[in-house]
Amino acid sequence: MGELVDCYAVEIPIKSSNVVLNLVKRSIRDFDSIPLLHLRRLAKPAYLPAHLRVQLPSSDNSPSPTDASTSTGSDTSPSISRSTSPASPTGSPPPTATPRPQTIVLLVCPIHLVSSERLTAILSTAAPFLPSPTLQVSPYPLKLLTLPAPLHPPTTGQAASSWTATHWPTVYKRNNPFGAHPAIVSRAESEIKDVAGKWLQLAQSVGQVCKEQGWGIGAGCVIVERSGGNNGKERSQTPTKKWERVVAVAGDARWYGRPDGTNTAATSQVESNPLAHAVMRAIAMVANKRLALGSDPSKKEQLLSSEPDYPFLSKPLTPLEARYASTTDNLSHNGYLCLDLELYVSHEPCVGCAMAALHSRFGRLVFGRRMQRTGALVAEVQAGKAFVDGGLGYGLFWRPELNWKGLVWQFQREVDTDGSEVCEENGADEPFSEETSV
């Protein structure tokens, strides 16, 4: 199991859990400084290991008649142990006392963040532990538990179940919180490193054409499909010639004129339209292709190259965009969103576009220019810089909390003499390299 960390837990009436959790989050400094996402924040008493369950106020059967009927079964399996519920089928209803509320156990935080005295003081200001003004409901007994919990996430479902039984309800997420396996990264890198420069060059040109029209900042992107998918999965047994092809290209068109002509480049500062960022547009172009692939040929043209659809601008705006957008011959049938496709962007995408790429299930993304104040991919923050100048630090390609992850590289042309190009991985455990001109 590895390292353990001692944590506080407290049993609370289920109805108060939001209030209490809000309170401790607000009151304890660095509350989230140790990520314990693999541990259930709130657990029903029935799902706790027996040695913890017996320490809870709800399992203390002496003072309350409501518990007498159920406490006997309390250390058997969770499904029949209903020590918190007064409505047990086998028990008789309590004659007079107010029924015990349904409870839940809150895992508060590691004990080094706050002393037990201070935590008790904080908790005792929360509603369930205060006497009610009408004195009709007695305050819930405040009892802090201290328990050792696994500090690091489990690597198998089996480990999660066994820790749940011995320590605290633990969740197994089928991924690595620290980044992709190095073998997967190096395999991907070997596939893209010789072509990334070419695609980024195209991305820049695509953005430049739109910029010259006054439509955007000059950012552009290219979506590429690769034979065999991009996880190294060979779809055919016999090795065939490898290929890759451009599926769609799009330039940033955030200042593209509104259909009624009211906004022009002159009013662009107040009218900026993030739905027409390059990545959003290119994703929409792929969607249009998938729709076209699944519809009858007469509708194809309407889907692929009709008039600009403000504000999404998912139809090609320039001949360069049209070259790739107006056909379905450059995309495999039966694909799902942008799964197995690769995204090459001239600039580091903003939060909206980076998450759009995750929603679209891209597995690989390469960007050129680092966007220090708006980019969402780089995880590192430069210390000592004010406001957002040190970077946002989101690392939005590999967040354990999010439901999709991908590989991301910042592309750098090698400065030294041989003129060759290298790809630097912006991995979770590698220091991020300084911005370079592309």
Partner 1 sequence: MEKREYHEWYMREAIKMAEGALRSDETPVGCVFVRDGKIIGRGMNDTNKSLNGTRHAELVAIGQILQKQPATIFKETDLYVTVEPCVMCASILRQYGIRAVYFGCYNDRFGGTGGVLTIHEDPSVDKPYPVYGGIFREEAIMLLRRFYVQENDKAPEPRQKKARELKTEILPSEIAGPREL
**For residue 427, how far is the Cα from the chain centroid?**
16
- Are 313 and 285 in contact by the 8 Å Cβ rule? The answer is no
Give the nearest distance from C-beta 95 to partner 1 in angstroms.
28
- Residues near partner 1 (CB under 8 A): 14-18, 21-22, 24-26, 41-42, 104, 258-259, 262-263, 270-275, 280, 283-284, 286-287, 290-291, 294, 310-312, 336-339, 350-353, 355-356, 358-361, 373-374, 376, 387-388, 392, 394, 396, 399, 401-403
- Give the whole-angstrom CA distance, residue 100 versus residue 65: 10
* 247/284 with CB nearer partner 1: 284
Three-point CA angle 6, 33, 12, nearest 5°: 55
Give the nearest distance from C-beta 128 to partner 1 in angstroms.
12
DSSP string, 241-272: ---EEEEEEEE--TTPPPTTS---GGGHHHH-
Give the nearest distance from C-beta 395 to partner 1 in angstroms.
11
Residue tagged 């790809």 (tokens): 423
| Per-residue exposure over 143-155, b if at least 16 CB sit within 10 Å of its own CB, e if not | eebebebbbebbe
* 72/264 with CB nearer partner 1: 264
* 82/423 with CB nearer partner 1: 82
- Give the whole-angstrom CA distance, residue 415 versus residue 326: 38
* 25/51 with CB nearer partner 1: 25
Give the nearest distance from C-beta 420 to partner 1 in angstroms.
36
Question: Which three-class secondary structure state does DSSP give residue 197?
Answer: helix
- Give the whole-angstrom CA distance, residue 220 versus residue 243: 23
Cis status of the peptide bond prior to 311, with omega within 30 of 0: yes
Give the nearest distance from C-beta 262 to partner 1 in angstroms.
6
- Are 97 and 64 in contact by the 8 Å Cβ rule? The answer is yes
Instruction: Give residue 110's identity as a one-letter amino acid code.
Output: P
Give the nearest distance from C-beta 249 to partner 1 in angstroms.
17
* 109/209 with CB nearer partner 1: 109
* 34/68 with CB nearer partner 1: 34
**For residue 207, how far is the Cα from the chain centroid?**
28
Give the nearest distance from C-beta 337 to partner 1 in angstroms.
5
* 25/198 with CB nearer partner 1: 25
Q: What is the DSSP pairing of strand 364-369 with strand 341-347?
A: parallel
Give the nearest distance from C-beta 360 to partner 1 in angstroms.
5
- Give the whole-angstrom CA distance, residue 242 versus residue 334: 20
* 167/290 with CB nearer partner 1: 290
Task: Bin 213: left if φ > 0, else alpha if -120 < ψ < 50, else beta.
Answer: alpha
